[in-house]
Structure 1
Amino acid sequence: MENPLLLFPQLNISASKDKSYHKVMKSMVKEEPHQASKSGAKQKRNRLSLLLQKPEFHEGDQLGKPGNLTKAASVSPEEAVKWGESFEKLLSEKAGLDAFTKFLKTEFSEENIEFWIACEAYKKCKTTHELLPKARKIYETFIQKDAPKEVNLDFQTKELTSQNIDQPLITAFDEAQNRVYRLMEQDSYPRFLRSEPYLNLVRGKNPSRPTLRRRSRSFTVNDFQGVRPDLTLW
């Protein structure tokens, strides 16, 4: 009996080769896009790694624009300690005033310091014709009932101030300003001196610049930065 393989030698060999060829090609077609996607992902990871290693990419940049830690006005522990000597001393220095304003904002009572500042600006008017419009603006903003930034004043002080607005003098807000000043001095100021941001200033906590690994508190007045008294009207 003849060997059956010899009857169709070309057919058997060709079929075997065709099947093998198609299997190999199919495998290569599936493998190429997979390898390409892996290569692309690897390149993206490498680019991201290089970006993160650049020295100019650091947390401080995100804190900038305003209030960048590296640009904050420095306050020495000695200066911060002087703020604790008296409320008057605190308000007499710009950094101290800014710090106290930020603190009052955390207590939702910043209208007190803004009113005090507005009164200080009012008393610097050089001509009498400036007094009336500024007096009305201060009264409508801080004194009258349901004013947008109404300060806490007793009825008598409000009535006296209201009467002074008709023909305002340089002393029109003196009584109201003194009452708000004493309120801040006796109530808010002691809490400010016990607050963590102020105590950090006194302790001299001052990292030169932040890092990605750790967010540190600064002994610069940056702790209180980003908030200023609303002086645009005065």
Structure 2
Amino acid sequence: MEIPLVFFSQFNMCESKEKMFFKLVHGSGKEETSKEAKIRAKEKRNRLSLLVQKADLHGETIPNRSCPLAKETRISPDEAVKWGESFDKLLSHRDGLDAFTRFLKTEFSEENIEFWIACEDFKKSKEPQQIALKAKTIYEKFIQNDAPQEVNLDFHTKEVISGSISQPTLHSFDAAQSRVYQLMEQDSYKRFLKSEIYLHLLEGRPQRPTNLRRRSRSFTYNEFQDVKSDVSIWL
């Protein structure tokens, strides 16, 4: 006696579990199998895909309207004239130091002024733990070979600092700071006085943010964590 075989097309064993589950839940309604329904579903998927692609392409380029624009800083031409009298007058003024730093960024040599600022802050340290921690950070960031922001120092100066870094004093970086100061005064400062940044200040034009690729990340004492710093007065 032959046993009749019955086939259920809706339970195709070759289909994935997800498709079988979808059929069981939603059924095989005739309206879903019609050509019109398939075309509408395809159009919806295409529109959704385009919207997602546009969001991915423009998501990072659309400006945040709630973010305020950077403010322009106006400096008196008379004040800017004083900066041309001496390098010391330039660095002793907050806006002058900022303008000179922006200029060094255009030459990718900002590590010099950042080292000088770090040394000025270091000399204000009082606690032994603070002195040791800052000295180690300055040495690793600016002095040692292949430092991320290594400044140009002669071999003898670097050797002296390396030998005293285990027991630093407030004068450990005096020779190096003086050397970098002279380099900036005799070289970078002269070019700064001829730069567009300085000439625009003499004409009374506003300073604008300089958006340049940094060769090295800015020096900051935030890495000192609990150690208090006075570096803000120099920036």
Alignment TM-score, normalising by the size of structure 1: 0.62
Q: How much does 1:127 deviate?
A: 1.2
Q: How much does 1:221 deviate?
A: 2.6
Structure 1 or 2: more helix by fraction:
1
Q: Which runs of 5+ in 2 are unaligned?
A: 1-62, 224-228, 230-235
Which position in structure 2 is the counterpart of 1:95?
Answer: 95
1:86-165 equivalences under 5 Å are 86-165=86-165
Larger radius of gyration: 1
Q: How much does 1:223 deviate?
A: 5.8
Change (3 A) 1:224 1:84: farther
Which position in structure 1 is the counterpart of 2:57?
Answer: none
1:1-234 equivalences under 5 Å are 68=70, 71-204=71-204, 219-222=205-208, 230-231=219-220, 232-233=222-223
Instruction: Give deviations 1:17-58, integer Å, cap 9, x for gaps.
Output: xxxxxxxxxxxxxxxxxxxxxxxxxxxxxxxxxxxxxxxxxx
1-side partners of 2:206 and 2:87: how far apart? 20
Which residue type is aligned with residue 182 of structure 1? Answer: Q
Change (3 A) 1:67 1:155: farther
Q: How much does 1:177 deviate?
A: 0.4
Q: Which runs of 5+ in 1 are unaligned?
A: 1-60, 205-218
Instruction: Give deviations 1:121-144, integer Å, cap 9, x for gaps.
Output: 111112122111110110000000
Change (3 A) 1:225 1:77: farther
Change (3 A) 1:65 1:158: farther
Change (3 A) 1:199 1:66: farther
Instruction: Give deviations 1:98-150, integer Å, cap 9, x for gaps.
Output: 11111101101000000001111111112122111110110000000000000
Question: Alignment identity in percent?
Answer: 59
Name the count of aligned residue pairs: 158
Change (3 A) 1:126 1:66: farther
Which position in structure 1 is the counterpart of 2:9?
Answer: none
